[in-house]
Amino acid sequence: MSFTILQAATFPVGLRNKIDSSINVIGPFGLPVGATLSAEEAATVRILITMGSLTTDEAAMDRLPNLGLICCYGTGYEGVDLDAARKRGIMVTHSPSANASSVADLAMALLLAVSRRVVIADKFVREGAWKGGSAARMPLIRGLTGRKIGVFGLGAIGRKIADRAAAFEMEVAYYNRSRKLEVPYPFHDSLQSLADWADILMIAVRADGSNQHVVDKGILKALGQEGIVINISRGSVIDEPVLIELLESGQLGGAGLDVYEREPAVPDSLKALTNVVLTPHIAGGTIDAHEAMQELIVMNIMAYLADQPLKTPVPELRS
């Protein structure tokens, strides 16, 4: 039987170009996944290319009765119902490490922008407020040297962030679901312990149902009035209304955010804060990162079609 690959979202054209031209690639057709396909079309779909932020639930799998492989473009796969996939014998892959360097770079860019007030300084110059005298300059602030940065989630991205922070002469520690024996940084056995120690919290954890709003008021307040939180993971990890409350009241010093709870909607109250730097979920948005993610997608597809071991199955479904 001939088969098709269904794209659940719009991906760079380079991905389609890398897939064997003899394979029929269709989509995207809108959400929910597979809902607009006829029964005949749906029956031909063996491979789904999606993103972790999109819902691929039991209903979606039922609509695609011959689905055998789900490829997530990027590191995340929180939108895939892994239990439903396991029951149906559907394999699931993602693209870990492919965009790690790019995401780590933006994490540090956000940290620098917030801590050194780069956006405010840019506005200061553009508006002509810089007159040259010391009294007209911006107030002195703390630098990064010697500050304590806690990395929440020490996977491929978190490790690269930790290494970059160490190069900035910062004290680095981390909290992860398990201790990483091969890293030189101190391990904290709870997120609260990490937050109590740190004055900068870098969120690099993989998002799933178990860590929704885990960065709550207690965690954020522990960072202190000069504390900074940076999130390049998923918006659902932070309790967003609480974050806004603490930033507005001065109980938290600043935030750098690339992700939000209800993307692309960003609360107006968050946009209004001058101690926050916002970017539109672009951490992995570099040419080299996308090339690497596309290569992994194609390698996993080819391995599946050849009945060979997958290159990057999600950890929960590794055999």
> Which is the catalytic residue, given 177, 179, 262, 263?
263
Domain range annotation of the chain? 4-97+288-317, 100-278
Q: List C-alpha distances in Å: 299 to 18, 19, 71, 305, 306.
A: 10, 9, 10, 10, 11
**Stated pTM of the model:** 0.90
| Homologous superfamily of the 100-278 domain (CATH) | NAD(P)-binding Rossmann-like Domain (3.40.50.720)
Residue 287 three-state SS = helix
Residue 210: predicted pLDDT = 80
Crossing angle of helices 118-126 and 100-115, rounded to 10°: 60
Residue 161: predicted pLDDT = 98
Q: Is 263 a catalytic residue?
A: yes
Residue 295: predicted pLDDT = 96
Q: CATH fold of 4-97+288-317, please?
A: Rossmann fold (3.40.50)
**Nearby residues of 232 by Cβ (< 8 Å), 6 or more positions away:** 103, 106, 107, 110, 157, 202, 203, 204, 258, 259, 283
Which residues in the chain land under pLDDT 50? 1
> Which is the catalytic residue, given 78, 234, 240, 290?
234
Residue 134: predicted pLDDT = 59
Q: Report pLDDT digits (tens) over 155-167.
A: 999 999 999 999 9
Residue 319: predicted pLDDT = 62
Residue 154: predicted pLDDT = 96
Q: Is 234 a catalytic residue?
A: yes
> Which is the catalytic residue, given 248, 281, 291, 295?
281
Q: Is 159 a catalytic residue?
A: no
